[in-house]
Structure 1
Amino acid sequence: MAHPTQIIGKVSELKAAQALLANGWQPAFPLVDEAHDIQAWHPELGSARFQVKTLRQRTDRANQYVLYARKGNGTPYTKEDCDYMIGVLGDDVYMTEVRGCTEYWTSENAINEKWTKLSEVIA
Protein backbone atom coordinates (compact mmCIF):
# COMPACT_ATOMS: atom_id res chain seq x y z
CA MET A 1 0.00 0.00 0.00
CA ALA A 2 1.18 3.53 -0.75
CA HIS A 3 2.63 5.64 2.05
CA PRO A 4 0.23 8.42 3.21
CA THR A 5 2.62 11.14 1.95
CA GLN A 6 2.56 9.55 -1.52
CA ILE A 7 -1.24 9.63 -1.49
CA ILE A 8 -1.30 13.28 -0.38
CA GLY A 9 1.20 14.14 -3.12
CA LYS A 10 -0.83 12.37 -5.81
CA VAL A 11 -4.03 14.13 -4.67
CA SER A 12 -2.18 17.47 -4.96
CA GLU A 13 -1.02 16.57 -8.49
CA LEU A 14 -4.58 15.72 -9.53
CA LYS A 15 -5.94 18.98 -8.05
CA ALA A 16 -3.20 20.89 -9.91
CA ALA A 17 -4.06 19.14 -13.19
CA GLN A 18 -7.75 19.94 -12.68
CA ALA A 19 -6.97 23.63 -12.04
CA LEU A 20 -4.69 23.79 -15.08
CA LEU A 21 -7.35 22.14 -17.24
CA ALA A 22 -10.00 24.57 -15.99
CA ASN A 23 -7.70 27.45 -16.98
CA GLY A 24 -7.23 26.35 -20.59
CA TRP A 25 -4.14 24.15 -20.19
CA GLN A 26 -3.98 20.60 -21.52
CA PRO A 27 -2.09 18.74 -18.77
CA ALA A 28 -0.28 15.43 -19.16
CA PHE A 29 1.65 13.27 -16.71
CA PRO A 30 5.04 11.85 -17.77
CA LEU A 31 5.15 8.06 -18.10
CA VAL A 32 8.67 7.92 -16.67
CA ASP A 33 10.04 9.82 -13.67
CA GLU A 34 10.99 13.38 -14.55
CA ALA A 35 11.97 16.42 -12.49
CA HIS A 36 8.50 17.84 -13.21
CA ASP A 37 5.13 16.32 -12.32
CA ILE A 38 3.01 17.76 -15.13
CA GLN A 39 3.71 18.93 -18.68
CA ALA A 40 0.97 21.12 -20.09
CA TRP A 41 0.19 23.03 -23.25
CA HIS A 42 -1.88 26.21 -23.53
CA PRO A 43 -3.11 27.52 -26.91
CA GLU A 44 -1.90 31.06 -26.14
CA LEU A 45 0.99 30.42 -23.74
CA GLY A 46 2.59 27.33 -25.28
CA SER A 47 4.16 24.47 -23.35
CA ALA A 48 5.31 24.48 -19.71
CA ARG A 49 6.52 22.04 -17.06
CA PHE A 50 5.08 22.12 -13.54
CA GLN A 51 6.38 20.71 -10.25
CA VAL A 52 3.58 20.21 -7.72
CA LYS A 53 4.00 20.44 -3.96
CA THR A 54 1.58 20.52 -1.06
CA LEU A 55 1.71 23.95 0.61
CA ARG A 56 2.41 24.01 4.34
CA GLN A 57 1.13 26.55 6.81
CA ARG A 58 3.84 27.44 9.31
CA THR A 59 2.71 26.77 12.86
CA ASP A 60 5.54 28.82 14.36
CA ARG A 61 4.75 31.93 12.27
CA ALA A 62 1.22 33.24 12.05
CA ASN A 63 -0.32 33.33 8.59
CA GLN A 64 2.83 32.18 6.76
CA TYR A 65 2.79 29.64 3.93
CA VAL A 66 5.80 27.79 2.57
CA LEU A 67 6.26 25.73 -0.55
CA TYR A 68 9.27 23.43 -0.12
CA ALA A 69 11.01 23.19 -3.50
CA ARG A 70 13.81 20.67 -3.00
CA LYS A 71 14.44 17.64 -5.14
CA GLY A 72 15.16 14.25 -3.55
CA ASN A 73 18.88 15.11 -3.37
CA GLY A 74 18.17 18.36 -1.47
CA THR A 75 18.96 20.75 -4.33
CA PRO A 76 16.37 23.30 -5.50
CA TYR A 77 14.34 22.95 -8.65
CA THR A 78 15.72 25.17 -11.42
CA LYS A 79 14.53 26.31 -14.85
CA GLU A 80 16.23 23.22 -16.30
CA ASP A 81 13.83 21.05 -14.24
CA CYS A 82 10.53 22.92 -14.57
CA ASP A 83 9.06 26.29 -15.40
CA TYR A 84 6.57 26.70 -12.56
CA MET A 85 6.02 25.51 -9.03
CA ILE A 86 2.44 24.72 -8.07
CA GLY A 87 1.41 24.73 -4.43
CA VAL A 88 -1.80 23.06 -3.31
CA LEU A 89 -3.47 24.02 -0.02
CA GLY A 90 -6.76 22.20 0.46
CA ASP A 91 -8.80 23.05 -2.63
CA ASP A 92 -6.70 26.12 -3.46
CA VAL A 93 -4.06 25.83 -6.19
CA TYR A 94 -1.33 28.46 -6.58
CA MET A 95 1.37 28.85 -9.23
CA THR A 96 4.67 30.74 -9.18
CA GLU A 97 7.64 30.83 -11.55
CA VAL A 98 10.67 28.75 -10.65
CA ARG A 99 13.46 30.95 -9.31
CA GLY A 100 15.85 28.29 -8.00
CA CYS A 101 14.80 28.70 -4.36
CA THR A 102 14.63 25.80 -1.93
CA GLU A 103 11.58 27.40 -0.29
CA TYR A 104 8.97 29.86 -1.55
CA TRP A 105 7.40 31.93 1.23
CA THR A 106 4.38 34.16 1.41
CA SER A 107 2.00 35.52 3.98
CA GLU A 108 -1.72 34.88 3.91
CA ASN A 109 -2.25 38.57 3.06
CA ALA A 110 0.20 38.56 0.12
CA ILE A 111 -0.43 35.12 -1.39
CA ASN A 112 -2.77 36.40 -4.13
CA GLU A 113 -0.31 39.16 -5.07
CA LYS A 114 2.81 36.97 -5.16
CA TRP A 115 1.34 33.81 -6.70
CA THR A 116 -1.36 33.13 -9.31
CA LYS A 117 -4.37 31.40 -7.78
CA LEU A 118 -5.40 28.91 -10.46
CA SER A 119 -8.43 27.72 -8.55
CA GLU A 120 -10.03 31.18 -8.99
CA VAL A 121 -8.75 32.23 -12.44
CA ILE A 122 -10.96 29.73 -14.23
CA ALA A 123 -11.58 30.86 -17.80
Structure 2
Amino acid sequence: MTSSKQSEVQFNVRMASERIEDIVRSASEMEIQQDYTSVAGKEAIYIENSSLKHYKDGSSTDLLGGNYGDISFHISFNKVSDGILGYTVTGEIDGEHSYQISKDVWILKIEKITGNSGKAIIFKP
Protein backbone atom coordinates (compact mmCIF):
# COMPACT_ATOMS: atom_id res chain seq x y z
CA MET A 1 0.00 0.00 0.00
CA THR A 2 2.89 2.36 0.69
CA SER A 3 4.19 2.37 -2.87
CA SER A 4 0.67 2.83 -4.28
CA LYS A 5 0.12 5.89 -2.06
CA GLN A 6 3.43 7.37 -3.20
CA SER A 7 2.50 6.70 -6.84
CA GLU A 8 -0.89 8.32 -6.29
CA VAL A 9 0.71 11.46 -4.86
CA GLN A 10 3.26 11.70 -7.67
CA PHE A 11 0.64 11.21 -10.38
CA ASN A 12 -1.72 13.84 -8.97
CA VAL A 13 1.01 16.43 -8.37
CA ARG A 14 2.23 15.98 -11.96
CA MET A 15 -1.34 16.31 -13.26
CA ALA A 16 -1.90 19.45 -11.20
CA SER A 17 1.33 21.00 -12.48
CA GLU A 18 0.43 20.28 -16.11
CA ARG A 19 -3.11 21.60 -15.62
CA ILE A 20 -1.84 24.84 -14.06
CA GLU A 21 0.60 25.36 -16.93
CA ASP A 22 -2.13 24.75 -19.53
CA ILE A 23 -4.51 27.20 -17.86
CA VAL A 24 -2.12 30.10 -17.22
CA ARG A 25 0.18 29.96 -20.26
CA SER A 26 -2.06 32.23 -22.35
CA ALA A 27 -3.11 34.71 -19.62
CA SER A 28 -3.13 38.38 -20.64
CA GLU A 29 -2.92 39.77 -17.08
CA MET A 30 -1.65 38.17 -13.87
CA GLU A 31 -1.31 39.08 -10.22
CA ILE A 32 0.26 36.95 -7.50
CA GLN A 33 -1.54 37.36 -4.16
CA GLN A 34 -0.76 36.09 -0.69
CA ASP A 35 -4.32 34.83 -0.28
CA TYR A 36 -7.16 34.40 -2.76
CA THR A 37 -9.68 37.19 -3.30
CA SER A 38 -12.15 36.95 -6.16
CA VAL A 39 -12.10 39.60 -8.87
CA ALA A 40 -14.97 39.94 -11.34
CA GLY A 41 -14.09 38.90 -14.87
CA LYS A 42 -10.90 37.10 -13.84
CA GLU A 43 -9.87 33.55 -13.02
CA ALA A 44 -7.84 32.30 -10.07
CA ILE A 45 -5.87 29.28 -8.89
CA TYR A 46 -5.52 28.80 -5.14
CA ILE A 47 -5.81 26.33 -2.24
CA GLU A 48 -8.95 25.91 -0.15
CA ASN A 49 -9.13 23.26 2.58
CA SER A 50 -6.04 21.52 1.14
CA SER A 51 -7.68 21.27 -2.31
CA LEU A 52 -6.47 22.98 -5.48
CA LYS A 53 -9.20 25.28 -6.78
CA HIS A 54 -9.80 27.00 -10.11
CA TYR A 55 -12.17 29.98 -9.98
CA LYS A 56 -13.75 30.64 -13.37
CA ASP A 57 -17.03 32.11 -14.60
CA GLY A 58 -18.24 32.94 -11.09
CA SER A 59 -17.65 29.59 -9.41
CA SER A 60 -14.84 27.50 -7.95
CA THR A 61 -14.18 23.92 -8.97
CA ASP A 62 -11.52 21.39 -8.04
CA LEU A 63 -8.60 21.82 -10.41
CA LEU A 64 -8.33 18.04 -10.84
CA GLY A 65 -12.05 17.32 -10.77
CA GLY A 66 -12.00 16.13 -7.16
CA ASN A 67 -10.63 12.67 -7.97
CA TYR A 68 -7.45 12.70 -5.92
CA GLY A 69 -8.31 10.75 -2.77
CA ASP A 70 -6.82 11.90 0.53
CA ILE A 71 -4.09 14.11 -0.92
CA SER A 72 -3.51 17.48 0.75
CA PHE A 73 -2.13 20.04 -1.67
CA HIS A 74 0.01 23.11 -1.06
CA ILE A 75 1.02 25.67 -3.67
CA SER A 76 3.23 28.71 -3.89
CA PHE A 77 3.71 31.14 -6.76
CA ASN A 78 6.56 33.54 -7.44
CA LYS A 79 7.51 36.00 -10.15
CA VAL A 80 10.73 34.76 -11.77
CA SER A 81 10.82 37.74 -14.16
CA ASP A 82 8.28 40.06 -15.79
CA GLY A 83 6.77 37.36 -18.02
CA ILE A 84 7.75 34.17 -16.21
CA LEU A 85 5.70 32.62 -13.41
CA GLY A 86 7.29 30.12 -11.06
CA TYR A 87 5.24 27.74 -8.96
CA THR A 88 5.70 24.79 -6.64
CA VAL A 89 2.97 22.20 -6.11
CA THR A 90 3.28 19.79 -3.19
CA GLY A 91 1.00 16.87 -2.43
CA GLU A 92 0.94 14.76 0.71
CA ILE A 93 -0.94 11.73 2.07
CA ASP A 94 -0.94 10.80 5.76
CA GLY A 95 2.03 13.08 6.45
CA GLU A 96 4.30 10.30 5.17
CA HIS A 97 4.05 10.23 1.39
CA SER A 98 4.79 13.49 -0.37
CA TYR A 99 5.93 14.76 -3.75
CA GLN A 100 6.78 18.21 -5.06
CA ILE A 101 7.21 19.78 -8.49
CA SER A 102 8.61 23.25 -9.17
CA LYS A 103 8.20 24.80 -12.58
CA ASP A 104 8.78 28.09 -14.41
CA VAL A 105 6.25 28.99 -17.12
CA TRP A 106 6.64 31.68 -19.73
CA ILE A 107 3.29 33.49 -19.94
CA LEU A 108 2.94 34.10 -23.67
CA LYS A 109 0.70 37.21 -23.82
CA ILE A 110 1.92 39.11 -20.77
CA GLU A 111 4.48 41.83 -20.32
CA LYS A 112 4.53 42.00 -16.54
CA ILE A 113 3.32 39.87 -13.64
CA THR A 114 2.15 41.93 -10.65
CA GLY A 115 3.19 40.82 -7.15
CA ASN A 116 6.25 38.83 -6.14
CA SER A 117 5.12 35.74 -4.24
CA GLY A 118 2.03 34.22 -2.70
CA LYS A 119 -0.38 31.34 -2.48
CA ALA A 120 -2.82 32.43 -5.20
CA ILE A 121 -2.81 33.88 -8.68
CA ILE A 122 -5.53 36.02 -10.22
CA PHE A 123 -5.44 36.27 -14.00
CA LYS A 124 -7.32 37.30 -17.08
CA PRO A 125 -7.39 34.69 -19.84
Question: Normalising to structure 2: TM-score of the pair?
Answer: 0.30
Quick one: higher RCO (CA 8 Å, sep 6+), 1 or 2?
Answer: 2
Query: Which one has the bigger strand percentage?
Result: 2
Question: Normalising to structure 1: TM-score of the pair?
Answer: 0.30
